[in-house]
Amino acid sequence: MRRVGGVALWRGLLQAALLLLLLGGCERELPAIAEQASRPAKLFRVTAEPAVVQHEFVGRVEAAQTVDVSFEVGGELVELPVRQGQALRPGALVAALDPLDFDLAVQEAEVQLRLARQDLERKETLLRDRSVSQSAVDDARAQFELTQIRLSQARKRQADARISAPFAAYVTRRFVDNHTRVRSGEVIARLLDLTELKIVVSVPEELMATVSDDRVVAVSARFGFLPDEVFPLTYRDNAGEANDVAQTYDVSFTMARPQRWNILPGMTASVRLELTESAANPAVTIPVNALLGDAAGGFFVWVYEPQTSKVIRRAVQAGALLAQGIVIDSGLADGELVVTAGASQLQPGMRIHALGETGAR
């Protein structure tokens, strides 16, 4: 019984000692925030400027130029080396007719021209001897000029028996087969000029009525099979009349054809149009990581005071989320500094030292 009583006594003394230590700890005060070492933080200078809004459209890829090639003369095809889906260099042969008849016509015209020249020269010599009249010489000269014209026509028909690519072309379709007889004007193949691509989007009428050149920040295209690639676009033209059903206008943009990717007409693209809002209603935009949420569901930021190097908590009203950040509808003024990196570790009145300052673009 004596041993048990000693253990109970010892436990009581230990509990009393622990209680005294806890009471002593409660009496000690934590260091004030003002006395704590300053924390590093990055700052962002608020600038009130027109907000940038984005519009997304589905666009279709078209060739900048489409040409249906045909012969201006008729005949039998003897060469048709092109294939659908083939890329051609400028001047490459597309198709050729049997040249025999055209070559013979040129030779005949050359012989007639030689005879007409000889006749003209002979009569001019006789005119000097007064053996022929001036009218006979004039008739010979007219015949000579006619044979020159016939030779030029024959040579043109000879040249027209061959079709060459007028530009760096892509053969999208071939309409005839080789060794068939074709008529003048019959389409042989369809060529696309892919040195420059055209992307067409349908724009609502209200946007067409309000967009001006000074509001356009950027226009770009993205393709689903190339998620990491962005292609800048340049405005080309737009339709003057709206679609009867959708009441939209076709607007065309151009882009240089990329060398790495085989982007072809008929493919779809996502076109992003970035516009500034009216300059009369400037907006404050801050980086997303500068905005913090509170327990009540609201938002706040840490505003840096350069005079004291301290931060204060400021409630703000958040607006639209844009590509360059989030719009603050109220709570911040132009020129104020807000904390971005390190904002989640701050407390009211805490002293910070800036690691750097950025601003709105």
**Residue 322 located in a structural domain:** yes
Residue 120 belongs to domain with CATH number = 1.10.287.470
**Residue 177 located in a structural domain:** no
- 275/184: higher pLDDT: 184
Domain boundary residue, one of 141, 160, 179:
160
Instruction: Give the pLDDT confidence of 140-166 residue by residue, as tens digits.
Output: 999 999 999 999 999 999 999 999 999
- What mean pLDDT is reported for the chain? 83
pLDDT of residue 33: 45
CA 20 – CA 290 distance, rounded (Å): 45
pLDDT at 323 over 70: no
Task: Enumerate the H helices of 211-345 as residue ranges.
Answer: none
Same-domain pairing of 60 and 199: yes
Residue carrying the six token digits 């009428």: 205
**The amino acid at 103:** D
Domain boundary residue, one of 253, 276, 299:
276
Same-domain pairing of 286 and 353: yes
**Residue 250 located in a structural domain:** yes
Residue carrying the six token digits 């597309």: 94
Instruction: Give the pLDDT confidence of 2-35 residue by residue, as tens digits.
Output: 333 443 444 444 344 433 333 333 333 434 444 4
pTM comes to 0.57
DSSP state, 309?
T
**Residue 288 located in a structural domain:** yes
**Residue 174 located in a structural domain:** no
CA 45 – CA 337 distance, rounded (Å): 5
Same-domain pairing of 59 and 203: yes
Most confident range, picked from 114-123, 244-253, 343-352: 114-123
Residue 241 belongs to domain with CATH number = 2.40.30.170
Q: Token pair for residue 345?
A: 């570790």
Residue 321 belongs to domain with CATH number = 2.40.420.20
pLDDT of residue 232: 94
Residue carrying the six token digits 């001019």: 124
Number of domains in the chain: 3
Q: Is 179 left (phi over 0), alpha (psi -120 to 50) or beta?
A: left
CA 66 – CA 98 distance, rounded (Å): 27
**Residue 45 located in a structural domain:** yes
Q: CA dihedral defined by 319, 320, 324, 325, rounded to 10 degrees?
A: 40
Same-domain pairing of 153 and 297: no
**Residue 242 located in a structural domain:** yes
pLDDT of residue 55: 86
* Mean pLDDT to the nearest integer, 324-340: 80
Residue carrying the six token digits 């690691």: 355
Domain boundary residue, one of 276, 306, 341:
276
pLDDT of residue 18: 33
Same-domain pairing of 60 and 203: yes
Range of the domain at 289: 33-50+281-359
DSSP state, 35?
G
Same-domain pairing of 289 and 354: yes
**Residue 94 located in a structural domain:** no
Instruction: Give the pLDDT confidence of 48-65 residue by residue, as tens digits.
Output: 776 677 889 999 999 888
Q: Token pair for residue 8?
A: 């109970």
Residue 183, classified by CB atoms within 10 Å of its CB into exposed (0-12), middle (13-18) or buried (19+), is exposed
* Mean pLDDT to the nearest integer, 302-306: 85
pLDDT band at 185; cut points 50, 70, 90: very high
Same-domain pairing of 293 and 229: no
Same-domain pairing of 204 and 271: yes
Same-domain pairing of 267 and 296: no
**CA nearest neighbour of 222 among 268, 274, 275:** 268
Are 133 and 185 in contact by the 8 Å Cβ rule? The answer is no
